[in-house]
Amino acid sequence: MAPPVKASVVYKKVDGILSITKDRQLVLFTPNVPPSSPPTLKIHTSEIRNLQQTPATKAKVSVKIVVQPPGGPAPENYVFVFSSTTAARAEAEAIMDPLKEVYANNLKSTTSASTPNAPVGSSPAASGPLAMAQVTASKTQDVLSDATLLSDFSLQKSLLDKNAQLHQRFNEAFKKLKNEADAIPLDQFSKQFWSPRIHLLRAHAMERSQTQGTYNVFSAVKPQRNNEGVVTLKLSKEQIQLIFAQHPLVRRIYDDLVPNRKKEGEFWSDFFVSRLFRKLKGEKFTASDVAAIPDLDKYLDYNEDADTGPLFAVPNIPRFLDVEGNEQDHPETYGNDDETQRPEKDQGLLRKLNTMSGKMMANVAPFDRSNLHGPVGMDEKTFDELQLKDLQGAEVDNRISLNIKETHGLFAGSSARNGQSSTVSSAAAMSDFKRQLLEPIGTPLEFNDTSKRQAASTSKGLMKSIKQRRSLLSIISDADTGLSRPTIDSAIMTHNTTIEFLHYFWDVYLSGDEGRTGELAKLVETLHKSLERIEAVATEADTELQQKQEDQRLKDQEFFKRTGKRIRAQNDASGGGKALHDLLKSTEMAVKYAETQYQRTYQEQVAQNGAQVQT
Amino acid sequence: MDGVDATVRGSVRTSSAAPPSLLTIILDTNPLSWSHLSSSLPLSAVLKTLLIFVNAHLAINHANQVAVLASHVDNVAWLYPTPDDGDASKQSSQTNGHTEVADEHRVVSNKYRPFLTIEKNISKNLRNLLTSDIPSAEALKSPPLLAGALSIALAYANLQLLKADPMTSDSASTGTGAVGAADLDAHTSALRTARSGHQFVSRILIVSVSQADLSSQYIGLMNSVFAAQRLNIPLDVLRIGERTAFLQQASDATSGVYLTYDPPNSTANGTNGAATASFSSATAGLLQTLMQGYFSDVAARKLLVMPGSAEVDFRAACFCHGKIVDLGGVCSVCLSIFCLPLEFTSCPTCQSPLRVPKSVTTKPVAFARRKKKKRKIGDGGRDSAAGTPVPN
């Protein structure tokens, strides 16, 4: 143990002594005034996340300690300025050295502590996913923040590769932007593109951080019999590594036998037909089933799990999950009939598979036990979850009462309550009302021709609205609009990109960031071009319609020549630019609205600005 | 025992016939508004039309039921069934004999009794409404008590539902006395299953004439709308006169029908007789609207495309100034709406503290001010790309 270290420092403009306790658990700051006061600041060394020190060349010596309290929202910074006139630098070193040591240990222990029960001879094969899991566990918070996601191009690229539709949209938008507003740089564009889709990125990042774990390799290795009846077995390098990782015993035997007593290939071909293999796999066998291989059979009685130790050294397993607990608590209630409820008796497939799963899980860093300083074993929440609640009474009603204050008339301008003209006095209204009621309501209604016409026109209006509604419910089809499929497709594409640009526009416009006005202006330009693009599609549709009508006319003429009969001209005027504009009406409206908004704000601000310049 | 009882009932009830349907009509009876309409569509004509509609509803299925409420100036009154009779269901259409009413008036021998009962009840109750209290001039101008009327209508619909299907009422009453939130959930889910099994359907028709600001009843109305949504009760709105955004939203939220009916203005209303004749045109239109737009019940609506404007104005009026707002703030506790920027730090309706996210309050900037301008002057107009492209 190092002796306690002390140094005179200034912390938050208070002179005091900075010291580290003997066990290096705490860093204490004790102010000088009043004398012998208790330390005002305690820092747990285990919570230190970063240490910074002024470079040796500077005259002023200060140290910054970044601390992340468990469960705290954000790291806290503590800056200490070493105030000793003679030996500030030396004192700082004296404080920092042990802290650095502790900090380094912390780093190590957090890494190893997350896999507290990893098997001693952890294999190289397991370290891949293991390392991966640790990295993701420690970085999850940062990785999923908006800024990181927006700047992670490889992530965006992989998402685009995966999602073809998104990729297409990205390309379309990018192409259009590049052609027309060449000054928008790629990174700006990608930011605009992704910021409304940040949830997709986040989901993808989560998805990518999930890796496939190891699998039970014995079940994957299967001998195959080819046409000539020769049994072959394919075994890859990775599979061998996995076998060694999952079954240290095989590795030991391999080390013992190869290459002194058996050749590599011979070892494996022997192994996969041996009794040992059957045993490790958990299959039942009898001595007559499998031929004896003396070299391997001598390991049969070896308990594979003996030297790995218990896989889960959790001190408190909840009683609900603890099969061994059954044995201890009520051995008489669990008879011998249910093998799955007995901890040590069964050596068959079930147990093997269980052990296998246990081994695989042990190599994965637990994601849910991030708080290493929390209470060991069952916490309050787990306990609550495990409680049997079905016999409890109904829950107490915990509604929150809402106190409503009458807001009406609180503010000026709400006096016009009944919009009806108040020219009629209330007394006159009442008498009028009474007069209306005097007429007996039981008498039949009489209708004349006018009323029949009125009824018919009302009915027509209703039918019109029903038809309108029905058209909204059905999907756009070629027949309804009179447009050809390619035109509709290009209209849809134009609509998509326009909406895309509208997203960008509002994003930048509402950000209120003066620095982005140039970007905004460009986007407005692009939006305006969107209208032209719609116009272009409409022109296309118009020519298409003309073509169609021309074709029809020619056909009619031909028919007339051939038969001498004239077909009644089908004046099919549906389709064309008008139909297209109808289709994209709301899109155009949205663009125009955005433009007017922008121009109004722009002119207002220009005017304001001019006024400011003049004053 | 309950279980045995219930299973028997369940087996009896599985019929493929159309489910009985309850039609609740809420009639706005603000005298000022009706007086305003007297030249084009008087209340008496509307009542006659509504009676035809109600009779048609009763005639289509013998188990159908009707309730009529008047949302009056300062109270909500039952028009049918008359609540004084104790058990209201006695007067429902199935029970033919109701001598009390019949004795009061001369018996109309060629009228179907249930139709007559309803007619007499509505007539009597409306007169009671007039004689009971003369509302003050100020009260006349206040908005109709729609929230109260809706609550009563929903409560009534719920009661009828429980009567029609006692199984759900059993499950609701087996609670521990105080009805907790969990019980309520169980109750509504039971109702839903009953609904999906076509046990009993109901709908509410609001005939609205007053042009009034409903914001003072906003919370009550919203709660009613949510309740109706949950009970699968569509709120149909027939608006005579100008349209109101709120009622349209309410009917849209509950997948009801919202229609406005503009009565054609009668030109010849010099003498009383001529006026009555010209009303008939407006009345015919109203009847056509009612029968064509509102006649189908919930079960039938699943198979039909309903009329109504496809475009719904979803904007709401703010509570602070009564302005229609495009973008506003909503109190997360009581759902009050305010226009931006907020002028207060706590909700004036329910006193909950409000916190506005920064992104809402930032003003859009289309033109870089000061900094850039200054440089522009200093550099003699070198930077002209500040915000120039204004497409016209």
Chain A nearest C-alpha distance from B162 (Å): 23
Disruptive mutation site among B40, B80, B140 for chain A (greatest number of A CBs within 10 Å): B140
pLDDT computed for residue B387 by the predictor: 40
Closest to A420 in 3D by CA, of B208, B141, B317, B237: B141
- Write b or e for each residue in A401-422: b if 16 or more Cβ atoms lie within 10 A of its Cβ, otherwise e: eeeeeebbeeeeebeebbbbee
Contacts of A521 in chain B (CB under 8 A): 366, 387-389
**Looking at the complex, does the CB of residue B161 fall below 8 Å from at least one CB of chain A?**
no
User: pLDDT tier at B9 (50, 70, 90 boundaries)?
Assistant: very low
User: pLDDT tier at B173 (50, 70, 90 boundaries)?
Assistant: very low
Contact flag A510-B183 (C-beta cutoff 8 Å):
no
Contact flag A514-B119 (C-beta cutoff 8 Å):
no
Contact flag B180-A612 (C-beta cutoff 8 Å):
no
Per cent of chain B over pLDDT 90 is: 17
A52 and A176 in a single domain? The answer is no
Coil vs helix vs strand at A5:
strand
- The answer to whether residues B114 and B47 touch, using CB atoms and an 8 Å cutoff, is no
Cross-strand partners of A43? A27
pLDDT computed for residue B155 by the predictor: 93
∠ CA B181-B184-B187, nearest 5°, is 155
∠ CA B248-B251-B255, nearest 5°, is 135
Residue bearing the bigger pLDDT, A512 or A411: A512
Q: Is the pLDDT of residue A492 over 50?
A: yes
Contacts of A611 in chain B (CB under 8 A): none
User: pLDDT tier at B152 (50, 70, 90 boundaries)?
Assistant: very high
- The answer to whether residues A420 and B36 touch, using CB atoms and an 8 Å cutoff, is yes
- What is the mean predicted confidence (pLDDT) over B138-149? 78
- What is the mean predicted confidence (pLDDT) over B79-91? 62
Closest alpha carbon within chain A to B129: A434
CA separation for the pair A41, A46 (Å, rounded):
15
pLDDT computed for residue A325 by the predictor: 62
pLDDT computed for residue B89 by the predictor: 44
A55 and A179 in a single domain? The answer is no
Contact flag B390-A599 (C-beta cutoff 8 Å):
yes
pLDDT computed for residue A413 by the predictor: 41
- The answer to whether residues B236 and B258 touch, using CB atoms and an 8 Å cutoff, is yes
Closest alpha carbon within chain B to A519: B387
A492 and A544 in a single domain? The answer is yes
**Looking at the complex, does the CB of residue A419 fall below 8 Å from at least one CB of chain B?**
yes
The string of DSSP codes covering A377-408 is S--HHHHHHHS--TTS-PPPP-PPP------T
Residue A443, domain member (yes or no) = no
Contact flag B284-A434 (C-beta cutoff 8 Å):
no
Q: How far is CA A456 from the centre of its chain?
A: 57
Contact flag B366-A424 (C-beta cutoff 8 Å):
no
Q: Among A84, A113, A142, give the residue marking a domain's end.
A: A113
The per-residue pLDDT of chain A, averaged, comes to 73
Chain B nearest C-alpha distance from A483 (Å): 23
A166 and A282 in a single domain? The answer is no
Chain A nearest C-alpha distance from B344 (Å): 12
- What is the mean predicted confidence (pLDDT) over B283-306? 89
Chain A nearest C-alpha distance from B165 (Å): 25
Contacts of B319 in chain A (CB under 8 A): 407
CA separation for the pair A614, A464 (Å, rounded):
59
A79 and A201 in a single domain? The answer is no
Which segments of chain B belong to CATH 3.40.50.410?
A: 2-301
- Tell me the range of A148-157, A439-448, B107-116, B117-126 where mean pLDDT is highest: B117-126
Chain B nearest C-alpha distance from A612 (Å): 8
**What range does the domain containing A488 cover?**
478-614
The ipTM value here is 0.72
pLDDT computed for residue A419 by the predictor: 45
Contact flag A442-B119 (C-beta cutoff 8 Å):
yes
**Looking at the complex, does the CB of residue A613 fall below 8 Å from at least one CB of chain B?**
yes
* Residue contacts between A and B (CB atoms, under 8 Å): 278
Torsion of CA A294, A295, A297, A301, to 10 degrees: 130
**Looking at the complex, does the CB of residue B310 fall below 8 Å from at least one CB of chain A?**
yes
Q: Among A280, A297, A314, give the residue marking a domain's end.
A: A297
Chain B nearest C-alpha distance from A597 (Å): 10
Distance in Å from the first CA to the final CA of chain B: 80
- What is the mean predicted confidence (pLDDT) over A532-539? 88
Cross-strand partners of A53? A63
List CB contacts of B282: < 8 A, sequence separation 6 or more. A454, B40, B41, B45, B263, B264, B266
Contact flag A429-B119 (C-beta cutoff 8 Å):
no
pLDDT computed for residue B294 by the predictor: 93
Contacts of A466 in chain B (CB under 8 A): 305-307
Q: Is the pLDDT of residue B267 over 70?
A: no
Residue A380, domain member (yes or no) = no
Contact flag A451-B31 (C-beta cutoff 8 Å):
no
**Looking at the complex, does the CB of residue A410 fall below 8 Å from at least one CB of chain B?**
yes
Contact flag A410-B348 (C-beta cutoff 8 Å):
yes
CA separation for the pair B254, B306 (Å, rounded):
13
pLDDT computed for residue B101 by the predictor: 45
Task: Give B 131-160 residues with CB within 8 A of chain A.
Answer: 134-137, 140-143
Q: Is A586 left (phi over 0), alpha (psi -120 to 50) or beta?
A: alpha
Q: Is the pLDDT of residue A408 over 70?
A: no
Structurally, how many domains does chain A consist of?
A: 5
Neighbours of A459 (CB within 10 A): 16
**Looking at the complex, does the CB of residue B184 fall below 8 Å from at least one CB of chain A?**
no
**Looking at the complex, does the CB of residue B327 fall below 8 Å from at least one CB of chain A?**
no
Q: Is the pLDDT of residue A184 over 50?
A: yes
- What is the mean predicted confidence (pLDDT) over A549-571? 78
Coil vs helix vs strand at A230:
coil
- What is the mean predicted confidence (pLDDT) over B1-22? 54
pLDDT computed for residue A21 by the predictor: 77
Residue A537, domain member (yes or no) = yes
pLDDT computed for residue A313 by the predictor: 56
- The amino acid sitting at A494 is T
Residue bearing the bigger pLDDT, A270 or B186: A270
Chain B nearest C-alpha distance from A153 (Å): 26
Residue bearing the bigger pLDDT, A103 or B61: B61
A546 and A492 in a single domain? The answer is yes
A609 and A482 in a single domain? The answer is yes
Contact flag A406-B388 (C-beta cutoff 8 Å):
no
Closest to A221 in 3D by CA, of A271, A292, A289: A271
Task: Give B 195-214 residues with CB within 8 A of chain A.
Answer: 210-213
- Domain B2-301: give its CATH superfamily: von Willebrand factor, type A domain (3.40.50.410)
Closest alpha carbon within chain B to A473: B305
Q: At what angle do helices A153-162 and A186-194 cross, to 10 degrees?
A: 60
- The answer to whether residues A526 and A501 touch, using CB atoms and an 8 Å cutoff, is yes
Contact flag A597-B282 (C-beta cutoff 8 Å):
no
Q: Is the pLDDT of residue A165 over 60?
A: yes
Which of A186-190, A195-199, A529-533 has the weakest average pLDDT?
A: A186-190
Tell me which residue in B182, B281, B351 faces A394 most closely, judged by beta carbons.
Answer: B182
Contacts of B278 in chain A (CB under 8 A): 450
Closest alpha carbon within chain B to A407: B349
User: pLDDT tier at A489 (50, 70, 90 boundaries)?
Assistant: confident
Q: Both tokens of residue B235?
A: 């709120």
Q: Among A59, A90, A113, give the residue marking a domain's end.
A: A113
Contact flag A408-B215 (C-beta cutoff 8 Å):
yes
- The answer to whether residues A184 and A519 touch, using CB atoms and an 8 Å cutoff, is yes
Disruptive mutation site among B35, B124, B216 for chain A (greatest number of A CBs within 10 Å): B35
pLDDT computed for residue B234 by the predictor: 93
A53 and A162 in a single domain? The answer is no
pLDDT computed for residue A516 by the predictor: 80
pLDDT single digits (tens) A321-350 = 666 665 665 555 555 555 555 555 555 677
CA separation for the pair B160, B202 (Å, rounded):
9
A496 and A601 in a single domain? The answer is yes
pLDDT computed for residue B203 by the predictor: 93
Neighbours of A310 (CB within 10 A): 9
**Looking at the complex, does the CB of residue A605 fall below 8 Å from at least one CB of chain B?**
yes
pLDDT computed for residue A523 by the predictor: 85
- The answer to whether residues A155 and A149 touch, using CB atoms and an 8 Å cutoff, is yes
Whole-prediction pTM = 0.54
DSSP state for residue B248 in the 8-state scheme: H
Closest alpha carbon within chain A to B310: A469
A26 and A79 in a single domain? The answer is yes
- What is the mean predicted confidence (pLDDT) over B367-381? 43
pLDDT single digits (tens) B232-249 = 899 999 998 877 778 888
Task: Give A 425-444 residues with CB within 8 A of chain B.
Answer: 425-430, 432-434, 436-443
User: pLDDT tier at A124 (50, 70, 90 boundaries)?
Assistant: very low
Contact flag B367-A418 (C-beta cutoff 8 Å):
no
Chain B nearest C-alpha distance from A385 (Å): 19
A185 and A243 in a single domain? The answer is no
pLDDT computed for residue A421 by the predictor: 47
Per cent of chain A over pLDDT 90 is: 1
